[in-house]
Structure 1
Amino acid sequence: MPADPSMTGKLRKFLALSGAEQRVLLAAAALLPLFRAGLRVFGFARLRAWIERAPAGAGKSPSLDELCALGALVNAAAHHTLGPANCLTRSLYLVWRLRREGIDCQLRIGVRLNDGVLDGHAWVECAGVPINDRRDVGADFSAFDAPLPPGRFSAP
């Protein structure tokens, strides 16, 4: 049976990555389903509170390009993992990963009205710059000005 050309192309792309990039991709692919399950089981508020207990700042100081590359790897892993990993799942995972490394970052959540339907979107910013989305994502979505309090979206 001949190999699936799309699979061999994906394998070639994976093997072309550095060892560190491969580890990031594999870790994200393994952990994103757990973050998705965590959202379903514990809800946004509890999962976010757990993530924010990790220390932030005073750690590494990677460049913005390195942070954007990390965001791109997490997004790529989301396309090759079990179950869907939406923007909130990807962003929560990325914040958790960065905070574990002592990198200060913010989870941003925004909304827009699209043909009468309210759309929500999440992304991660470091020093005010989106690292897992387009640089101008804030032009499409009105982000909440302040971090949302953990209990904001909990059910009564």
Structure 2
Amino acid sequence: MGKVKKFFALSGEEKKLFVEAYVTLGLMRAALLVFSFKHLTHSLEHQKNISDIKPLSDQNRQSAMAVGKAIIRAAAYTPWESACLVQSLTAQRMLQKRGIPGVFYLGVLKDNGSEEKINAHAWSQCGDMIITGGKGHEAFTVLSVFRWGKE
């Protein structure tokens, strides 16, 4: 019952963003199970690294923060796995829909305790803000960057 109370305590805009994030998380999770990653990212500009990130306008900054918060909030309540890659793809879709440019990163971290184990992580960024997957992203070596929108 506490989850329902929390939902109804949200503002109307937060509720709309939560529902949109929840549905998009589900669609992105299903898409990752059905389609190749290359297919899902074919419309994005693929780069090895990125250096020219431009700041967002105040309005886009607020919108991007609200979208990121909704994605992280909704991901905590999905009955399916909504890990970092699903969250990054969801952020890309929701922010691109709003005309807010950004990037998402794919990185790896080699486990020092094992010769073969590698951990992967994805995180999204708009301007100088990490939108999803920010916790611990600094430890990962960036392998690929996917950009959407014009900055």
- Residue of structure 2 in register with 1:99 after alignment: 96
Q: Distance in 1 between matches of 2:137 and 2:67?
A: 20
- State how far apart, in whole Å, the 1-side matches of 2:5 and 2:37 are: 36
| Per-residue Cα deviation, 1:65-90 (whole angstroms, up to 9, x for no partner) | 54233212102211222411111011
Tell me the alpha carbon deviations over residues 37-82 of structure 1, each in whole angstroms, 9 at most, x when there is no partner. Answer: 11121111101125x39xxxxx975354542332121022112224
8 Å CA contact 1:130–1:137 kept in 2: the answer is no
Q: Aligned to 2:124, what secondary structure does the other structure show? A: strand
2:64 is matched with which residue: 67, 70, 73?
67
Percent identity over the alignment is 29
Matched, 1:84 2:77: no
Distance verdict in 2 for CA 1:72–1:11, change over 3 Å:
same
SS in 1 for 2:35: helix
Larger radius of gyration: 1
| Cα displacement (A) at 1:17 | 1.0
Contact 1:108 1:124 in 2 (8 A): yes
Kindly provide the amino acid, as one letter, of the partner of residue 132 in structure 1. T
Report how many aligned residue pairs link the two structures: 135
2:145 pairs, out of 136, 144, 147, with 147
Show the 5 A alignment for 1:2-151. 8-50=1-43, 52=44, 62=59, 64=61, 66-114=63-111, 115-116=113-114, 117-134=117-134, 137-144=136-143, 147=145
CA distance in 1, matches of 2:79, 2:139: 29
Take 2:136 and 2:62, find their aligned partners in 1: how far apart are those partners?
Answer: 17
Question: Do the aligned partners of 1:60 and 1:103 also contact (CA within 8 Å) in 2?
Answer: no
TM-score where L is the length of structure 2 = 0.76
Shift of residue 108, structure 1, vs aligned partner: 0.8
Q: TM-score, normalised by structure 1?
A: 0.74
Bigger fraction of residues in helix: 1
